[in-house]
Structures are given as structure tokens and as C-alpha cells.
């Protein structure tokens, strides 16, 4: 068994696509209209285009907004992405205007930082040494 798809709820799929591709550096994998404004919209790491897909899922279900709001208010990331160097990625993304709620923090062999994806989520970046 392996993970092939995971998702984050987003307020605006087009805005999320721009952030996740233009800023974070992911590549669009699927973009399938589902009727109305909704799309099956996924991104992948360009380093692993056949790997796990991230679904940029519309936050239209009534349970989503209270859930995502509570996570953000409590500082809990919706998901985590591995990077080669958290400090270097923090500097790169900060230079692009990305807002961080947690600057790089070393915790033993793990370094993390948490950013605001501008679409209703906190995202953790991490690496292990």
C-alpha cells in the first residue's frame, strides 16, 4: 500500500494553483472540470512527477471552513513537505513574499518552518539531518 493522493482544502483553486506552482515550485498534473467552478486539480513535485499528487480541493463543504479555521488559529499545519534545506527554502520563499508563522526551528535531527499558503492553510516544510 502507498499514498498516491492527498489534499488540502483551498478557498480559490486558481489562486492556489498559482501559489503551489509559481511560488512553491510544484507542477500541475491534472486539471479536469467537474461542473460549475470546481475542478479536479492536482499538483506534483517536478522531482517526482509520477509520485504523490496533492489535490487542491475546493473548501465548499460546510464542515471545511470551521475545521481549517481551527487548524490555522491553533497553528497546526494542514500538511508537510520535505525540502533539502529548510533555512535556504525559508530565505527563498521569504524573498518571494511568503509569510511564515514559524521561522526555521531545529528539533534534534529535524528542522521545520511553517508558512501561510494564502489559500486558508498553514504548510510545514521540513528536513532531517
pLDDT at position 35: 85
d(CA 18, CA 118): 10
Q: What pLDDT, in 10s, does the model give residues 47-100?
A: 999 999 999 999 999 999 999 999 999 999 999 999 999 999 999 999 999 999
Q: Which residues contact 90 (CB under 8 A, 6 or more apart)?
A: 100, 103, 104, 113, 125
Please provide the size of the chain in residues. Answer: 129
Look up the pTM and report it.
Answer: 0.94
What Cα–Cα distance (Å) separates residue 11 from each residue in 14, 31, 40, 88? 9, 17, 14, 28
Q: What pLDDT, in 10s, does the model give residues 18-54?
A: 999 999 999 999 999 998 888 999 999 999 999 999 9
Other CB atoms closer than 10 Å to residue 25's CB: what's the count? 16
pLDDT at position 45: 98
Domain spanning 5-128: CATH superfamily: 2,3-Dihydroxybiphenyl 1,2-Dioxygenase, domain 1 (3.10.180.10)
Domain ranges in the chain are 5-128
d(CA 67, CA 99): 21
Amino acid at each position: 500500500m502507498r499514498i498516491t493522493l492527498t489534499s488540502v482544502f483551498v478557498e480559490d483553486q486558481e489562486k492556489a494553483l498559482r501559489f503551489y506552482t509559481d511560488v512553491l515550485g510544484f507542477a500541475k498534473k491534472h486539471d479536469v472540470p467537474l461542473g460549475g467552478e470546481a475542478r479536479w486539480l492536482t499538483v506534483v513535485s517536478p522531482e517526482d512527477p509520477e509520485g504523490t499528487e496533492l489535490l487542491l480541493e475546493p473548501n465548499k463543504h460546510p464542515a471545511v471552513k470551521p475545521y481549517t479555521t481551527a487548524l490555522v488559529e491553533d497553528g497546526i499545519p494542514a500538511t508537510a513537505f520535505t525540502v533539502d534545506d529548510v533555512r535556504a527554502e525559508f530565505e527563498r520563499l521569504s524573498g518571494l513574499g511568503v509569510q511564515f508563522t514559524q521561522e526555521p526551528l531545529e528539533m534534534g535531527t529535524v528542522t521545520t518552518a511553517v508558512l501561510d499558503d494564502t489559500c486558508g492553510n498553514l504548510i510545514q516544510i521540513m528536513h532531517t539531518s
